């Protein structure tokens, strides 16, 4: 059921088996499995999942490569709803461990907000990450192209960048070292833009020059292009660099503030889990982009299946069916 301010009272005293924070590919997949295991679940989602920004979902078995991410979300929500899962548009602010259950405080509504508290035995953190974009005065200019031919994921879109004039928008020296030489698998024509945010060391500059990559350290004024197709960048000094595509690697924001009070194992910003998605807390699972692994929609969906299955294994008990027992 889709919960809203008007029907929240119906769920006030309910102890859910599982609360899922985030209704992206991972959270929806977990919810579908949980409902089919006959466990009760509530997905709380603040919206604008990372998949929402995917204009074309690549590498997803069975879906045409021009499928928008929002179609995956829409179909996933319909599927979950058809299994009677509860879904609430809201922002999870905090989680408290009460021993054998969690209480979860949620902000519902941007204006006249209310703050209901829900309870569940298990928690699945499926709240993902979001990419940091080049900070311009006019951010609309970045959103015009981000997710179209200005990419954020080399695994997803390296194929689309093949042999093209590519701008690499770096957030740090480490991001250049980590990404540029791998990007060169797809294209030889790479210009690195630091947007004036950090200095590139001399040894790395020399190495990049040896490989034939240009570095531009002057800040960007704006992206150029039209109809969501970026065709270049203009720097603050007026210089124009024509480009056919771009890759942004400026770091990520991790949506995990509500887990602050738990001292969970992490690697960088990512949560460390076992192969079924269990974190260092026995009743908290992490799936999708928020956990250590490969940030892909199909992996997030698979993670959801694993976490839900493990929780079912934890909770299931043999049932004694009185009627059958008395007749055998």
User: Residues in the site for ligand FAD, rule: CB under 6 A?
Assistant: 21-27, 44-51, 53-54, 57-60, 69, 91-92, 126-128, 131, 147, 152-153, 156, 255, 258, 288-289, 295-298, 300
Measured between alpha carbons, how far is 148 from 170 in angstroms, rounded to an integer? 18
Helix (H, G, I), strand (E, B) or coil at 8: helix
Distance CA 251, CA 239 (A): 26
Residue 40 or 94 with smaller CB distance to ligand FAD = 94
The smaller minimum CB distance to ligand FAD, of residues 208 and 301, is found at: 301
Q: Shortest Cβ distance from residue 264 to ligand FAD (Å)?
A: 15
Q: Which is nearer to ligand FAD, 59 or 231 (CB)?
A: 59
Q: Strands 102-107 and 41-45, how do they pair?
A: unpaired
Of 132, 131, 134, nearest to 236 by C-alpha is 134
- Judge contact between 43 and 27, C-beta under 8 A: yes
Nearest distance from residue 60's CB to ligand FAD, in Å? 6
Q: Shortest approach of ligand FAD to residue 320 CB, angstroms? A: 38
Decide whether 123 or 208 has the Cβ nearer to ligand FAD: 123
Closest CA to 33 of 317, 277, 319, 279: 277
**Dihedral angle over CA of 167, 168, 169, 173, nearest 10:** -150
Considering the complex, state which of residue 117 and residue 236 has its C-beta at the smaller distance from ligand FAD: 117
User: Residue 313 CB, nearest distance to ligand FAD (Å)?
Assistant: 22
CB of 88 to ligand FAD, least distance (A): 9
Angle at 189 between CA 187 and CA 195, to 5 degrees: 115
């Amino acid at each position: 059921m889709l919960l809203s301010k008007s029907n929240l009272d119906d769920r006030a005293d309910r102890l859910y088996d599982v609360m899922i924070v985030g209704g992206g590919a991972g959270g929806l997949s977990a919810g579908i499995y949980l409902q089919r295991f006959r466990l009760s679940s509530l997905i709380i989602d603040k919206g604008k999942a990372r998949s929402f920004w995917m204009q074309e979902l690549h590498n997803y078995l069975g879906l045409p490569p021009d499928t928008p991410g929002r179609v995956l979300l829409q179909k996933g929500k319909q599927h979950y709803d058809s299994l009677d899962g509860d879904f609430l548009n809201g922002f999870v602010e905090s989680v408290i461990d009460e021993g054998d259950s969690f209480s979860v405080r949620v902000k519902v509504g941007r204006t006249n907000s209310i703050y209901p508290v829900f309870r569940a035995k298990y928690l699945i953190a499926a709240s993902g990450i979001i990419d940091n974009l080049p900070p311009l005065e006019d951010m609309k200019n970045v959103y015009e192209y981000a997710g179209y031919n200005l990419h954020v994921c080399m695994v997803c879109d390296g194929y689309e960048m093949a042999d093209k004039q590519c701008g690499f928008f770096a957030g740090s020296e480490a991001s250049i070292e980590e990404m540029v030489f791998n990007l060169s698998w797809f294209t030889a024509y790479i210009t690195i833009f630091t947007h004036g945010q950090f200095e590139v060391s001399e040894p790395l500059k020399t190495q990049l020059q040896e490989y034939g990559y240009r570095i531009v350290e002057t800040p960007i004024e704006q992206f150029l292009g039209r109809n969501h197709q970026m065709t270049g960048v203009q720097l603050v000094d007026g210089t124009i660099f024509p480009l056919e595509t771009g890759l942004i690697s400026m770091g990520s924001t991790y949506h995990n503030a509500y887990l602050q009070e738990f001292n969970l194992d992490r690697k960088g910003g990512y949560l460390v889990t076992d192969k079924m998605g269990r974190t260092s807390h026995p009743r908290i699972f992490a799936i999708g982009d928020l956990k250590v692994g490969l940030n892909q929609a199909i992996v997030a969906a698979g993670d959801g299946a694993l976490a839900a299955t493990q929780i079912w294994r934890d909770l299931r008990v043999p049932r004694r069916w009185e009627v059958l027992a008395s007749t055998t």
